[in-house]
A and B are shown apart, each in its own frame.
Chain A
Amino acid sequence: MASDSTSSSSDSAYDSAADHNPNSDTPINNHDSAIDDHLTSLTLTPLDEDLAPEKEREIEETDQTPMPEIGVTEVEEEAADVLASEVVVEEERESNSVSATGDVGLAWREEEVEAPASPGSSGYAGERGSSNASSASGIEEIGEDQVAERDGGLVNGVADSQPAWIPGKRHVNEDDTSILWRRRKKHFFILSHSGKPIYSRYGDEHKLAGFSATLQAIISFVENGGDRVKLVRAGKHQVVFLVKGPIYLVCISCTEEPYESLRGQLELLYGQMILILTKSVNRCFEKNAKFDMTPLLGGTDAVFSSLIHSFSWNPATFLHAYTCLPLAYPTRQAAGAILQDVADSGVLFAILMCKHKVVSLVGAEKASLHPDDMLLLSNFVMSSESFRTSESFSPICLPKYNSMAFLYAYVQYLDVNTYLMLLTTRSDAFYHLKECRASIEAVFLKSNVLSEVQRSMLDGGMHIEDLPVDPSSRSGSASSHLGQHSPERFRDTYTSLGGPCGLWHFIYRSIYLDQYVSSEFSAPINTPQQQKRLYRAYQKIYASMHDKGFGPNKTQFRRDDNYVLLCWVTQDFELYAAFDPLADKAMAIKTCNRVCQWVKDVENEIFLLGASPFSW
């Protein structure tokens, strides 16, 4: 495997001593052309996506057999099945058996056999639990992990020396032959254009070489016909593909999320990888098409698994906006002022965050930070436990800012949840940034920033029970502050749970600010499952509101068994609100108006205003 420890040279971390067979991908091409003729029967998306009518995006497949219910060898059949007809399968088989090396079928079986030896030829990497990570903590997927949690604990029998070690990736023992693996509701894969596995949400990448080769075969099969496969439906499964140069990303899901959402998640997954490696990793594939990328992502499982987990709880992943920790205006101003001073001294971005919420953020002149980059950066920092132990200086890439180059990040936790990130282009800036951090901390101490942050964490932000009755009557009064949470206030107005008029929850996204605010969860949406279901519902309505075909949709009112969902999109904001399924429509609309007014009243505290670096 490429991780031969003596092979790394000082000029490139990506040099690899992998295969020396530059022609090894040709047999696949041959075999593709053998069935090329049959491709005409497929409905595929032209490369120019925008011209493609909605229907043509999908390869409809009526076969009810759920994809993951089949074993390795059948997968091939299924895959071919999805693409074309039985005849094609036969011919594919034939051409496989004719070609001497490198054909899909043979290649897998070989790697299948090899697998146990190779993954940790770095059997050493296995010492830490395959590729590794930590924080078994919060990352507990509910629903998507219906199969009983049984991690089998430690990998490679190293239990004795590391009793508390829990792998960041769960279910490493599974592979595509295992029933548990096939029952997972949502799989994510990253693979190379030669079919080498790079990342898999479940199971050990190396054991999934065969499966990975299948996915690769589907993609390249279609690509060789000058088309691009974006979505395959098989029963209740959707298989979503995203091709990024030499890197392929695939999601297999039966969660009924819209195609656009799943595709957006693959985009974020790709962005997370770029954040760790930059796009210059593509060069490794130019040198060697069969380059094995897994060693380059060593120790990052927790980063990917926490990102995937956030797809089901963090609305930033589909809103493409960030959210702020609610704070009194003067406090946020004080924090922003010192960060601005730091930025003026040659720091590109100075960011103070508390968990996934922004406390304050300043960019150097003309530098703007994309909300997706912030999401990926904060996910990276929060899921890499080592940042918590001491101050760090690490290369990171912001994919939307500049996907080709590394920036250098000084990262330091100021308390258990609050961390400071200072980003610079200068690799030698550590001591300067360290001094900046010291002066920032001194200012925070004087203006009680950190204690205010902690208080806000406890108090939370907007509680729907606090929605003012008639905002206009008390405009400008002192009561337009947060933090006066009084659950009593609406008890009489409405008898059911939640806020007034059956309001259960809302998300308000300011288009101009690229920020959103989400109300605190309260009964009846108080379990993680219910919250995830609500986010999925928002996500669906978001996708439908942003579908190009629909034009600028203004409002949508949907009632189902679970909620009334009301969505309102204007040029300035988007409001998504969930109500009791029995809520009255007119009342719900009125309530939404009140919510918008409320947000305006407290915008000083819930948003980061002014000196916005977001001017693209």
Chain B
Amino acid sequence: MGCASSVPDRTARGPNGLNPGGDGPSDAKNLKVKLVLLGDSGVGKSCIVLRFVRGQFDPTSKVTVGASFLSQTIALQDSTTVKFEIWDTAGQERYAALAPLYYRGAAVAVIVYDLTSPESFTKAQYWVKELQKHGSPDIVMALVGNKADLLDRREIPAEEGIEYAEKNGMFYIETSAKTADNINQLFEEIAKRLPRPDTSQ
């Protein structure tokens, strides 16, 4: 048998659920945040994440199962870095009940809908309400209208998204995972809005 100590000891760390642990804590210069993406199936959550993390867009659809985990670090102009630990959740109906598992303790929630689908906009509002009830109190929320490249098929006017976001204390952005439009801006904007740890500590 192998050496048992080669395996991390689960009991060593407290039960912190699906929240990042291990490698180095956040400090004022290097933030580490848990981010969750929510939204109906097919709105493009995985495409947004893969565009942000790997700079790729794969038009063939790969329905997410459960949730995927990815991480990406960005550097801001004030020479701080932010490491996003991203939960890309499955939008399929059967996983809805499991969402709390992934958004519990999240500092950021990115709620995505498809500009060409009114249904997905309704679903986005459902997620906003759910997070207002059960998410972390100081959670940063972004409302994302994706597939902005499909100009002629737009169903939800920008004003509608902006208005809903403002009413709910979120910021609004329109993206295209396909063209990469506004993808980095989305995450940079989130990073700017993060509450900073007290620098005097």
Contact = CB atoms under 8 A, between A and B. Distances in A.
Does A pair with B? yes
Contact of A389 (B2, B66, B68): B68
B60 A337 contact: no
B6 A439 contact: yes
Contacts of A345: 4, 7-10
Contact of B61 (A5, A165, A428): A165
B156 interface: no
Contact of B66 (A388, A395, A442): A395
Contacts of A337: 1-2
Interface in B1-43: 1-4, 6-10, 13, 15-22, 40-42
Interface string A419-446: 0000000011111101110010011000
A159 to B, nearest CB: 11
A428 B18 contact: yes
B122 A5 contact: yes
B75 interface: no
A153 to B, nearest CB: 13
A118 to B, nearest CB: 14
A165 B60 contact: yes
B62 A341 contact: no
Given A122-B119, A127-B42, A386 B68 contact: yes
Contacts of A295: 93-94
A614 interface: no
Interface stretch (A128-136, A481-489, A550-558): A128-136
Given A5-B119, A439-B6, A10 B63 contact: no
B125 to A, nearest CB: 8
Interface stretch (B96-104, B166-174, B193-201): B96-104
B41 A299 contact: yes
Interface in A160-209: 161-166
Which bucket holds chain B's interface residue count? 35 or more
A8 B98 CA distance: 12
Nearest to B101: A427
Given A337-B2, A391-B69, A432-B10, A6 B123 contact: yes
A340 B1 contact: yes
A124 B114 CA distance: 10
Contacts of A395: 66, 95, 98
Contact of A392 (B13, B42, B66): B66
Contacts of B1: 337, 340-341
B4 A344 contact: yes
A261 interface: no
Interface of A: 3, 5-6, 8-14, 122, 124-125, 127-129, 132-134, 161-166, 276-277, 295-299, 334, 337-338, 340-342, 344-346, 384-395, 409, 427-432, 434-436, 439, 442-443
Given A125-B42, A334-B2, 16 more contacts: A5-B122, A10-B97, A127-B117, A134-B61, A134-B63, A162-B60, A162-B61, A276-B94, A277-B94, A298-B93, A341-B2, A341-B7, A345-B4, A345-B9, A386-B64, A393-B18
15 contacts: A9-B96, A10-B97, A13-B94, A128-B61, A161-B150, A338-B6, A338-B7, A344-B4, A345-B7, A385-B63, A390-B70, A394-B90, A428-B17, A431-B20, A434-B69
